[in-house]
Amino acid sequence: MRIKVLLFFLFTMSLTAQNNAISPGEKLVYTASYNMSGILTDLAEVTMETSAVKTSKATLLRLKCTAATYSQWDDFFKIRDLYESYVSPKSLTPYLYKRDINEGSYYKYMKYTFSHKTKAAKSQLKKKNNYEVHKTVTISTGTKDIVSTLYNLRILDYSKMSHGAQKTFTILFDAKEIKGQITYLGREQISTAIGKKECYKLAIGSNQTQVLEGKNNNFLWLTADENKIPVYGKFKIPVGNGELKIKSAMGLKH
Amino acid sequence: MKKTFTIFAMITSILAIILSVLPVSNLAVFPAIAALIFGLVAFYLSKKTGAVKKIIQFSFLLTIIALGITTYKAIFNTVELGNTDTLIKKEAESKEQAIEELEELDLEEFEAEDIDIEGK
């Protein structure tokens, strides 16, 4: 019954939220760490960068995410990943997405060209040994790639949300549409490398029942200001926890 | 019983040494603590029954070395990013390629108010 009542109050937000938090020239640097019983091991550096990209017809926003392992790990498992999304600066609607993964001896390249009018996305998959597959995938209204979805979290209005409010995203991943879900868990103050910050706490990827029963272990903290930058992430992995902690933030809009 | 604790102490101290020389040196603390506990129990039991075997002392030595390496690495080793030249080059190439691909797209089909179209 309690769950039904909560579901009744489920918050539904508009899909066409306007970007007032992200501008070109922003650079966020994170440290990805592995935490086992409080002992931290730094693994990689993750960078999230924005820039303006001009074509003859329009100016788009390039959202770029890179992940690179620290030198001590390079001999064991070298990671050099590049994720890019070219989006509308106002609504963060993606038009082109690229994912270039180099992890150890594994290589994968994925590209989506979105056509929101025809509700289709052309995908291109490349792997080692000249393996290449082209597909056209039917997409729903508001389908986004993983990078633009991550940035979209920053243009939601959390100040009007109540505890337990949910938002579902449709994400195109590996040429398939998957559902992602966030649950707003209220405000929390946390200490970060860029100071003590009042944050919005979000649970990622699980349904509300799991979150409220304490079964969820994936959380993201966004600053409770106009920039809404992700400052801390905690993700459950089979043994221990994965953590994403902000190292520096430059070129913020506000 | 004494034999079992001695074997456990040896196994955990070897594990601590292996972990301490790897990048995950911080995790060597766990087997090192276990090795100390097993070693102390084995030492106590050996003392009760007679002479203490050299292998127990050896496991203590390995554990101390492992803890020494771990502490040294935790204090003096700073994490630094590996060579990212290839990634930087790839980023630039990808951007150039993306601009060409975006030029090919029919941007007219996108919502006019959604995108900052120059000259409109």
Note whether B110 contacts A93, CB cutoff 8 Å. yes
**Helix (DSSP H) and strand (DSSP E) numbers for chain B:** 4, 1
- Residue A70 vs residues A26, A31, A67, B77, B116: alpha-carbon distances, Å: 23, 10, 10, 12, 39
Q: What is the Cα–Cα distance from A95 to A87, expressed in whole angstroms?
A: 6
Residues from chain B contacting residue A95 (CB–CB below 8 Å): 102, 105, 107, 110
State in words which class domain A2-250 has.
mainly beta
Q: What is the pLDDT of residues B83-100, one digit of tens each?
A: 889 999 999 999 999 998
Summarised one tens digit per residue, pLDDT across range A48-72 is: 999 999 888 888 999 999 999 998 8
User: To the nearest whole angstrom, how far is the Cα of B83 from the nearest Cα of chain A?
Assistant: 7
Q: Which of A189, A182, A239 is nearest to A39 (CA)?
A: A239
Are residues B98 and A84, on separate chains, in Cβ contact within 8 Å?
yes
List of chain B residues whose C-beta atoms are within 8 Å of the C-beta of residue A17: none
Q: Is B27 on the interface with A (CB under 8 A)?
A: yes
Whether residue A223 is predicted with pLDDT greater than 60 in this model: the reply is yes
Give the residues across from A134 on adjacent strands. A124
Question: Nearest Cβ partner of B107 from A58, A100, A113?
Answer: A58
Q: How is residue B84 annotated by DSSP? A: -
B68/A contact by beta carbon, under 8 A: no
> Measuring CA to CA, how many Å separate B69 from each of A39, B8, B22, B24, B50?
16, 21, 10, 12, 33
Hey, how many other C-beta atoms are within 10 angstroms of the C-beta on B58? 14
pLDDT score of A227: 92
From A59-63, A78-82, B80-84, B106-110, the region with the lowest mean pLDDT: B106-110
Residue of A203, A211, A85 lying closest to A153 (CA atoms): A203
Smallest CA-to-CA distance from B61 within B25, B13, B22, B21 is with B13
A100:B98 CB<8 A:
no
**Which residue is closest to B86 within chain A, CA to CA?**
A80
User: Rounded to two decimals, what is the model's pTM?
Assistant: 0.82
Q: What is the pLDDT of residues B14-60, one digit of tens each?
A: 999 999 998 888 889 999 999 999 999 999 988 888 777 789 999 99
Say if B79 is an interface residue toward chain A (CB within 8 Å).
yes
Asked whether the beta carbons of A149 and A202 are under 8 A apart, the reply is no
For chain A, domain boundaries? 2-250
- Would the ipTM clear 0.85, i.e. be above it? no
Instruction: Write phi, then psi, for A116 (nearest 5 degrees).
Output: -70, -25
* Residues on chain A touching B83 (C-beta within 8 angstroms): 71, 74
Which among A148, A126, A150 has a CA at the least distance from the CA of A230? A150
Contact between A226 and A209 under an 8 Å Cβ cutoff? The reply is no
The residue ranges of every structural domain in chain B are 2-76
Number of residues assigned to chain B: 120
Pair type for strands A39-54 and A120-127: unpaired
